[in-house]
Structure 1
């Protein structure tokens, strides 16, 4: 979300303002006039409204903020002025001076030590020959010389590390302590923003928002009573069975027995004797 920032509020101080606002919203229950925070307006809504009104809120603490910025700038100027003499008085601060000194300090002992080892080994091997060459003693002498150069280079490098450590220690001692004028100025600005800017804004935002009305109860739908004469009977009645003869005619089917004739009767052509 876009945040309107006061013209005098620097970018590096915006996060500090948001922390003050978040602390006020987190501890809203400690203020009786902010008891409705979270009911009339949610915490997210209040935070968004306050961020959009940052210019208005921070203007209430403009005096404390200007003092805080001025003190901070003065301390930064003092630190820059203290660090400048520590590095300006050495030849290494010339163009390329620091690089040359560092290369010489590192390479001189290394190269001198390597040369010393080579000359001493070659001179010792030549001294073992019979007869020994005339320049064997010269090689041994050169080896001893480069060995002394390597030792001197190591001592120089150690002294440089010691001086650098002492210089850094002096710079750290001159740095301002946490509990100084800058810390007091920052705390005064935070308190002014909270008491004269954030809290009044939250109170006004809650007061300008009407309380939420309780939801209306759902209407009760009542079914109309059934019309008279169509009230169903309560209980059960037995099924109404009718006789199979009801509604039918009295005519019943008749059956006749078959007409059997005696075997003694024959055809008219033949009479019994």
Structure 2
């Protein structure tokens, strides 16, 4: 399957998780316990990780279908700025605001207006009752003020219920701008890829490599490195330090650096300057 898509970096954690699931399969565990298979589970896992692209190619059709649906879902969630520009974006926002309707606006304004009216009515009513206790208008205004408080509380309760219902609806609909049916198709395609990766790719590969040699480690440049080169005490082949000898105890080495010769060194002619002490008194 040379046309199989390359396994993307964001999908490698899924590959690794399905690989761990395959290594826990009973047929693999029973085969690892047999003496003729000298690989352990960790060595088998290392080989499957190094050959991830080759192994995943067996589930290439499902993976290609999953990638296509995932790209469609990502494009459906992005606004098409190039097609409509700023005008289309503003018109979309206006249509969204129109879709909200009058009811949400009233649920927000009704408590504020009701409590403002209640405060004013209660203030006027209690002032009238203090000035003219016998006047029935003061009692009526106070009653209207308390009724406005009750109306504000009821409007606030309705607004809270509506807000909760809107939040539940938006959470079930998924991210803004994405098609819920397309999101469900992407999830189904991902599960189908995982199943194909387990049954058609990883399990056959693990069974086929139970009796193989351990995987070679990978050099930083991408070349395989034999295991013996990774053992402690290994030095690079074909290399020895350059010949070097230090000066002998009797002198320096000869010009070729092989045999010591006696050092011949005489200091330059030098005598201390004449000096006479002070005259004795």
Q: Give the TM-score of the pair, scaled to structure 1.
A: 0.49
TM-score of the superposition, structure 2-length normalised?
Answer: 0.47
Q: Between Structure 1 and Structure 2, whose CA radius of gyration is higher? A: 1
